[in-house]
């Protein structure tokens, strides 16, 4: 453990302190009188909002549009952009650092398989992330702006602002909205809901996937295993989640029950994509069935792709654990996927990240149950939403008190940076022993 926290983990420390510094600056700016419409924000609420924006979560103590001034909204917009861009860039660079720590043969094998960039291509990573970010956000903002002007008679200046703000919020998976009901007023409008949902999916894929698609988008056989897992799991979780959420909410008059059948499916798709870390909502999440909350809990905990703006334990981690189980059930000596063997080190990393995440969620839920009067289902939803940096809520965020806000703030910070930095730290800490202990088999199960 001492070595894990020592100089070998310096890149991970840089990520943590960089995000902490931005959060503190954002807290200071949001604490200014000019940042609020009326009474200035308290330090805990400013810290909560800044953390939620930088960690691209979207949980809010105050209504964004009515509480914060135009200056405050611009601060939140900047924090979302910095947080989303930063996590995509830094996680991709950490992957290069990890690759650089490997031996020459292992590094060449890794790059040949994953199609990752070499350790000296940091500039190419940054440039690539900037291009992907600007293209997706610009396209989304253009569609939204046109819709706000043509469909809702908004002045061009306000439409541009609304379009840009929500495009950034969607692509960064931040989940902040400039309306008190988030996107509920647009639940029947595909020209608003679908661009936002697609932007969230795009932000949740990650730059490593885009780097592969750029080179071999017409030849799936040459895609890296990471890209195949990310795209495949995204499709499966989105389709399965849409089917499950739509089915459980089909006759619920508080959410989708009063919509036309096609609009119910669109609302189910929108909610499913937002559980991937998007955080916006087109139906009242607080009125959902408990079954839908449970389905959402699972989707939020799994999250989006590695190296993306999304949170959760990541779809690759979840898939690797599934491959481990499948190999064990089949009695196979090696864990494999797509005709590639998964290293034991990577299996242990996935298991470590998943179990530590479960521990944080369990501990956070226990503490929140002690601090608040709310029942387990609502508290668990809130804790997973914070830890997985999603931003959806059953409506209790503003009512958990200052102590509860500090717990959620901690969960957002740990959940945003924990899987990224822990994965890098474990990989960098990989060591070779010249001896092995005698084997003994304790009983399992």
Q: What is the pLDDT of residue 17?
A: 81
Would you state the pLDDT for residue 11? Answer: 56
- Mutual angle of helices 122-152 and 190-203, in 10-degree steps: 170
Indicate the DSSP class of residue 332. Answer: -
Beta bridge partners of 341: 336
Q: What is the pLDDT of residues 216-252, one digit of tens each?
A: 888 888 888 889 999 999 999 999 999 999 999 999 9
| HEC assignment per residue over 234-292 | HHHHHHHHHHHHHHHHCCCCCCCCCCCHHHHHHHHHHHHHHHHHHCCCCCCHHHCCHHH
Residues contacting residue 14 through CB under 8 Å, at least 6 positions apart: none
pLDDT given for residue 348 in this prediction: 84
Q: What is the pLDDT of residue 113?
A: 37
Q: How far apart are CA 374 and CA 369, in angstroms?
A: 7
- On the question of pLDDT at 103 being above 50, the answer is no
Q: What is the DSSP letter of 172?
A: T
Lowest mean per-residue pLDDT among 47-61, 101-115, 423-437: 101-115
**pLDDT band, residue 439 (cuts 50/70/90):** confident
Nearest to 182 by CA among 261, 246, 258, 270: 270
Taking the CB of residue 146, how many other CB atoms lie within 10 A of it?
13
CA distance 441 to 36: 62
Contact in structure between 334 and 341 (CB atoms under 8 Å): yes
**Residue with more model confidence, 202 or 416:** 202
Pairwise CA distance, residues 286 & 152, whole Å: 27
173 pLDDT above the threshold of 80: yes
- Find the farthest-apart pair of alpha carbons in the chain and give their distance in angstroms, rounded: 75
**CA pair distance 397, 387, nearest whole angstrom:** 14
Tell me what pLDDT residue 343 has: 87
Angle made by CA atoms 299, 302, 308, in degrees to the nearest 5: 110
Mean pLDDT across 77-81: 94
Burial of 252 (0-12, 13-18, 19+ CB in 10 A): middle
Closest-CA residue to 54 (of 345, 436, 417) = 417
3-class DSSP state for residue 123?
helix
**Mean pLDDT over residues 410-429, rounded?**
72
Three-class SS of residue 437? coil
By mean pLDDT, which of 88-102, 324-338, 391-405 is the weakest?
88-102
For every residue of 335-362, DSSP letters joined together read -EETTEEPPHHHHHHHHHHHHHHHHHHH
Half-sphere exposure of 156 (CA within 13 A, CB side): 0
**Is the pLDDT reported for residue 430 higher than 70?**
no
Number of other CB atoms surrounding residue 327 within 10 Å: 17
DSSP per position, 24-93: HHHHHHHTSGGGBSSSPPPHHHHHHHHHHHHTT----SS-HHHHB-HHHHHHHHHHHHHHHHHHHHHHHH
Apex CA 17: angle with CA 421 and CA 173, to 5°? 65
pLDDT tens digits, one per residue of 271-280 = 999 998 899 9
Q: In this predicted structure, what is the pLDDT of residue 102?
A: 40
Q: What is the mean pLDDT of residues 3-27?
A: 71
Does 441 score more than 80 pLDDT?
Answer: no
Nearest to 311 by CA among 398, 235, 383: 383
Q: How many helices (H) and strands (E) does the chain have?
A: 16, 2
Backbone angles phi, psi at 54, to 5 degrees: -65, -40
Rounded to whole angstroms, the Cα distance separating 225 from 90 reads 21
Residue 86 contacts residue 196 (beta carbons within 8 Å): no
């Amino acid at each position: 453990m001492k070595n894990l926290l020592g100089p070998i983990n310096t890149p991970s420390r840089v990520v943590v302190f960089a995000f902490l510094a931005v959060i503190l600056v954002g807290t200071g700016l949001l604490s200014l009188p000019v940042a609020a419409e009326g009474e200035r924000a308290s330090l805990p609420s400013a810290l909560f909002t800044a953390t939620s924006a930088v960690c691209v979560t979207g949980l809010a103590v105050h209504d964004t549009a009515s509480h914060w001034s135009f200056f405050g909204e611009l601060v939140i917009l900047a924090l979302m952009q910095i947080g989303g861009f930063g996590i995509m860039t830094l996680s991709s660079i950490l992957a290069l650092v990890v690759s650089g720590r490997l031996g020459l043969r292992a590094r060449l094998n890794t790059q040949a398989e994953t199609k990752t960039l070499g350790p000296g291509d940091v500039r190419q990573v940054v440039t690539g992330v900037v291009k992907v970010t600007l293209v997706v956000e610009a396209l989304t903002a253009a569609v939204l702006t046109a819709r706000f002007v043509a469909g809702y008679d908004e002045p061009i200046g306000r439409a541009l602002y609304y379009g840009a703000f929500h495009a950034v919020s969607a692509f960064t998976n931040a989940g902040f909205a400039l309306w008190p009901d988030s996107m509920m007023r647009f639940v029947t409008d595909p020209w608003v809901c679908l661009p936002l949902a697609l932007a969230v999916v795009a932000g949740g894929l990650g730059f490593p996937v885009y780097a592969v698609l750029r080179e071999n988008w017409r030849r799936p056989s040459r895609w890296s295993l990471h890209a195949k897992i990310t795209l495949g799991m995204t499709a499966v979780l989105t389709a399965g989640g849409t089917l499950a959420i739509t089915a459980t909410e089909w006759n619920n008059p508080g959410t989708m029950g009063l919509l036309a059948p096609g609009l119910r499916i669109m609302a189910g798709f929108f909610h499913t994509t937002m559980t991937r870390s998007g955080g916006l909502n087109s139906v009242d999440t607080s009125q959902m069935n408990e079954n839908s909350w449970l389905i959402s809990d699972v989707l939020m905990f799994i999250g989006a792709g590695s190296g993306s703006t999304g949170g959760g334990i990541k779809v690759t981690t979840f898939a690797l654990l599934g491959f481990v189980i499948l190999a064990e059930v089949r009695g196979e000596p090696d864990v494999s996927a797509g005709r590639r063997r998964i290293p034991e080190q990577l299996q242990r990393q996935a298991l470590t990240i998943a179990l530590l995440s479960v521990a944080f969620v369990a501990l956070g839920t226990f503490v929140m149950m002690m601090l608040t009067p709310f029942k387990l289902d609502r508290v668990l939803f809130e804790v997973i939403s914070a830890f997985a940096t999603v931003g959806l809520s059953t409506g209790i965020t503003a009512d958990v008190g200052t102590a509860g806000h500090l717990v959620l703030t901690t969960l957002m910070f740990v959940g945003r940076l924990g899987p990224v930095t822990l994965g890098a730290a474990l990989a960098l800490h990989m060591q070779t022993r010249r001896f092995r202990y005698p084997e003994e088999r304790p009983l399992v199960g």
